[in-house]
Structure 1
């Protein structure tokens, strides 16, 4: 069985740090093609040439930052499968947290960089990315289902409610006349009662859909401020 060869991109303006990362990847037993970029311009060129499995982003990139590099990676159409890992200094912990909130899979403190730390970070990043992928798929399915419900309620709801209201009114008239005349066969009266019950069930179903849509809007409204923080 052929080993899996990973494409790894290191974005770091320090040549010595890039060399150190390459050596640690080899010591970790990784079969990889290693690519390098010292700044965002070189990173853009590399992103256009290859598709990457792992991208290590140094936080300090001269005039730019690792957050700028992260945004460039996440918005590149050909790099949707790339797993970004931020390399930070001890004093950049808050920046690392911010990077993860913006889509970075993990971070490594440079001063603590070792073979073990590298392996743990890569494994954690890949697992986290896989979990996010599953959650995103589930959320997308749920969102599409709620979108269909909303379209139904907005597009068909008013007309259907009017039709159900008229049907229920007609059923009540028929049942009232039946009680007075006593000439309608029991089987027909049973069908009329079933129709009335079905109309009521449909009205209740539409009320439930309205509640689901309103709850979704409320949750989205509460979540939006948190996402902007």
Structure 2
């Protein structure tokens, strides 16, 4: 018996796209032997795929390459373009002698490929574990992610701005010294130096926006 799988944040929703009933039953039994919470849905064709994608959120979609109408690559494209299920983990399943399908599927953005001869409970278990790990590692709240990024930027400015400002000021002084030694003010070199100086001034302004900064710019460095 397989080792008990780690708890997931919720049951895994799986969609099986295969016109062969025997293969669908086989895959279902493999999932059930994992002793884990699953919701399995089964469809036989692309029309059934579209209906299920519209009605439910799926974590995993197993796609049989050989379909009565169209093929697994077309199914993959429909999933990728679907607004609700475009982030589902897609797995192409094809015959052992169809290695070229694996290459095409992976190049098209399919996350995994399983040859029918290697399809096993252990293989599906590894697949589910990877999906669970990815779900637990990814922030589910977009607002929370933005807050974390803002906090990170704030901390970087707070702890490093005061150290960076004097260095930026010295760079600006060096640039102005070089510009003063260029006899042709409109030469390519002068233009490039002016562009570099502008970028440094923009950086200076960005650093100065931090409340924690108390240093003032040197007198000869005027920030507009």
TM over 0.5: yes
Which TM-score band (shorter chain)? Answer: 0.5 to 0.7
> Equivalences for 1:11-160 in 2 at 5 Å?
11-124=17-130
Matched with 1:202 is 194
Distance 1:200 1:72, change over 3 A: closer
Partner Cα distance (1:19, 1:26) in 2: 10
Q: What displacement does 1:91 show?
A: 1.2
CA contact (8 A) 1:9 1:55 kept: yes
Q: Which residue of 1 aligns with 2:165?
A: none
**1:78 alignment partner, SS class:** coil
Contact 1:105 1:128 in 2 (8 A): no
Deviation of 1:68 after TM superposition, in Å, equals 0.6
Distance 1:23 1:6 in 2: 15
Aligned residues: 151
After TM superposition, the score normalised by the length of structure 1 is: 0.55
Provide the rounded CA distance (Å) in 2 between the counterparts of 1:200 and 1:69.
52
- Larger Rg computed on CA atoms: 1
Q: RMSD across aligned C-alpha pairs, in angstroms?
A: 3.8
Q: C-alpha separation between the residues in 1 aligned to 2:8 and 2:96? A: 39
- Quick one: distance in 1 between partners of 2:134 and 2:115? 18
Partner of 1:10: 16
Q: Which has the higher helix share?
A: 1
Q: For the residues of structure 2 that align with 1:65 and 1:104, how far apart are their CA atoms? A: 14
Q: Unaligned regions of 5+ residues in structure 2, if any?
A: 1-6, 140-178, 185-189, 200-224
The TM-score normalised by the length of structure 2 is 0.57
Alpha-carbon displacement from aligned partner over 1:125-152 (angstroms, at most 9, x marks no partner): 6778999x9xxxxxxxxxxxxxxxxxxx
Residues in 2 aligned to 1:115 and 1:200: alpha-carbon distance in whole angstroms: 63
